[in-house]
């Protein structure tokens, strides 16, 4: 795996601007900063909620040529992401069912190692089984 | 398949950033790589697993690998553990 190969991008969709940005910051730092991790938090005017336009912009920004993994914070963000994906046919985007912080960190670290989109999605979803204690 | 193993005594706690650096590096090798601290052994390619080790300063940590590039993987991870845990974070 060449270091120049494009990495899978990560989009963190949260109802909160600050939660999405904080998780993106954490995942970016833990993985060494080589992966595009974009936050899509809050509504267009920065209130609590989700925005399909924000998610679409983040997906476009995270795409480096290897696809994009989208992680929602809560189930209700899934509706927004699904609506957005329906408007982007052909986009190489996978929606992951994973715990938000752990999934973001696991996915970003796996992407930084050069893994493909499927492996990055699997890393995020395996985060359900990671114990802290 | 060649196997390789090496131990190191940590000079700092294994916090989030060194755990991330370790997992990113491990993920670049074809070999299966594991890290053992105390009674816990985890997949070195799983950052959450490495963080869950709770490895602390002064503790002995063992890196083991099995696969075509096992020797290189162990050397790379031992180097990261010796550097990264000195800084913390």
Question: What's A124's domain CATH number?
Answer: 3.40.50.510
Q: What is the mean pLDDT of residues A1-17?
A: 88
Q: Does residue A81 form part of some domain?
A: yes
Q: Does residue A106 form part of some domain?
A: yes
- Give the pLDDT score at B88: 52
- Distance CA(B76)–CA(A50), nearest Å, equals 42
- Please calculate the CA angle A128-A133-B6 and round it to the nearest 5 degrees: 95
> Which chain B residues touch A100 with a CB distance below 8 Å?
none
Q: How confident is the model at residue A30 (pLDDT cuts 50, 70, 90)?
A: very high
Using an 8 Å Cβ cutoff, are A81 and A69 in contact? no
Owning domain of residue A95: 9-129
Q: A112 at the B interface (CB within 8 A)?
A: yes
> Which chain B residues touch A29 with a CB distance below 8 Å?
16-17, 20
- Give the pLDDT score at B1: 63
Q: Does residue A72 form part of some domain?
A: yes
- Give the pLDDT score at A87: 86
Nearest to B83 by CA among B17, B6, B5: B17
Q: Class of the B3-87 domain?
A: alpha beta
- Which residue of A3, A22, A30, A107 to mutate against B (max B Cβ within 10 Å)? A30
Tokens 């999605």, located at residue: A121
Using an 8 Å Cβ cutoff, are A119 and A109 in contact? no
Q: How far is CA A83 from the centre of its chain?
A: 16
Using an 8 Å Cβ cutoff, are A104 and A121 in contact? no
8 Å CB contact of A126 and B46: yes
Query: Is residue A73 over pLDDT 80?
Result: yes
8 Å CB contact of B17 and A114: no
| Shortest Cα–Cα distance, B47 to chain A (Å) | 6
Task: Write down the domain spans for chain B.
Answer: 3-87
- Give the pLDDT score at A67: 98
- Give the pLDDT score at B87: 58
- Distance CA(A4)–CA(A95), nearest Å, equals 25
Using an 8 Å Cβ cutoff, are A6 and A67 in contact? no
Higher pLDDT, B89 or A45: A45
Count of structural domains, chain A? 1
Phi first, then psi, for residue B67 (nearest 5°) are 150, 180
Q: What is the mean pLDDT of residues A20-25?
A: 98
- Give the pLDDT score at A4: 73
pLDDT lower than 50: segments of chain B: none
Q: How far apart are the first and last CA of chain B?
A: 36
> Which chain B residues touch A114 with a CB distance below 8 Å?
27-28
- Structural tokens at position B87: 């800084």
Q: Does residue A3 form part of some domain?
A: no
> Which chain B residues touch A102 with a CB distance below 8 Å?
48
ipTM rounded to 2 decimals: 0.90
Q: Does residue A52 form part of some domain?
A: yes
Query: Is residue A49 over pLDDT 80?
Result: yes
| Shortest Cα–Cα distance, B81 to chain A (Å) | 15
- Give the pLDDT score at B79: 96
Q: Does residue A2 form part of some domain?
A: no
Query: Is residue A3 over pLDDT 90?
Result: no
Q: Please identify every residue of A annotated as catalytic.
A: 15
| Shortest Cα–Cα distance, A88 to chain B (Å) | 31
């Amino acid at each position: 795996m060449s270091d120049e190969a494009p990495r899978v991008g990560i989009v963190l969709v949260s109802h909160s601007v600050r939660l999405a940005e904080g998780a993106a910051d954490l995942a970016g730092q833990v993985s060494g900063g080589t992966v595009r991790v974009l936050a899509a938090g809050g509504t267009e005017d920065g209130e609590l909620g989700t925005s399909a336009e924000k998610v679409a912009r983040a997906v476009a920004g995270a795409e480096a040529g290897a696809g994009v993994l989208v992680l929602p914070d809560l189930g209700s963000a899934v509706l927004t992401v699904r609506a957005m994906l329906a408007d982007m046919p052909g986009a190489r985007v996978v929606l992951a069912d994973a715990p938000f912080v752990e999934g973001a960190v696991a996915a970003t670290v796996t992407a930084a190692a050069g893994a493909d989109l499927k492996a990055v999605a699997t890393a995020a979803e395996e985060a359900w089984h990671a114990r802290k204690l | 398949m060649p196997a390789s193993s090496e131990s190191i005594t940590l000079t700092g706690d294994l916090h989030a950033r060194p755990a991330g650096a370790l997992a990113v590096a491990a993920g670049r090798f074809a070999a299966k790589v594991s890290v053992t601290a105390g009674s816990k052994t985890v997949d070195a390619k799983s950052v959450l697993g490495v963080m869950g080790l709770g490895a602390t300063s002064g503790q002995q940590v063992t890196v083991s690998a099995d696969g075509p590039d096992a020797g290189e993987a162990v050397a790379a991870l031992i180097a990261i553990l010796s550097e990264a845990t000195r800084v913390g974070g």
